[in-house]
Amino acid sequence: MTVNRKAIIFGIKGYKLSKSEKKLFEKTKPWGVILFSRNIKNILQLKLLISEIKKIFNDKYYPILIDEEGGRVSRLNKFIDNSIFSGNYFGNLFHKNKSKFYEYNYVYTKQISYLLYLLGININTVPILDIRRKKSNNVIGDRSYSSNKRIISEVGNSVIKNFHASKIATVIKHLPGHGLSKVDSHFRLPRINKTYSYLKKNDFAVFKNKSSIFAMTGHL
């Protein structure tokens, strides 16, 4: 079935689709839907919601996105606890013991991918490729793998590879780099004052040559 979809991703208000949301989807045919904590009550409710969304488009592969980073950004935290598995956790593990990192990260992404597949979610907005700075706003903080761009790049490659192997698409973020922000971009617009040559060598560099199909821009 060929559907003329607009290149836009919508969110929804609650645990189930309202009549007005259904009409909006049928009329505008957005490219995908992203789910947030406000949409998630339990496993059964979430599966029903996703199934309802996909039925509107008659497409079992319809793009359903979620922010399941681990650590403090976990939309599925009402029924799983992966709070210890922050970006910082995996970055530190990579720094201390690469072989253990590859083993642990493989098992972790495999389990998350399996849960996403069961729910009907096919795109996870990871990995975070922002370079962590001590004096920057905590909006990134321990969500970042490291302050070392090489570690970030290699961990990011592993995360992308593992999710793709389990048929879950990834979204690198927050292009072109949110690590230097002094304010939380959810509330104010950060202004980055570094030179282009510095950014090209550092914050921009970690996003290069990644195999992720998608990327999320930062509000900077």
Kindly report, residue by residue over 143-166, the tens digit of the pLDDT.
999 999 999 999 999 999 999 999
How does pLDDT run across 108-135, given as a tens digit for each residue? 999 999 999 999 999 999 999 999 999 8
- Contact (Cβ atoms closer than 8 angstroms) between residue 203 and residue 140: no
Supply the pTM of this predicted model. Answer: 0.94
Phi, psi of 33, rounded to the nearest 5 degrees: -130, 135
Provide the mean pLDDT of the chain. 96
State residue 2's pLDDT score.
Answer: 54
Written as six digits, the tokens of 110 are: 């495999």
- Read off the amino acid at residue 201: K
In angstroms and rounded to an integer, the radius of gyration of the C-alpha atoms of the chain is: 18
Whether the CA torsion 184, 188, 193, 196 is positive or negative: it is: positive
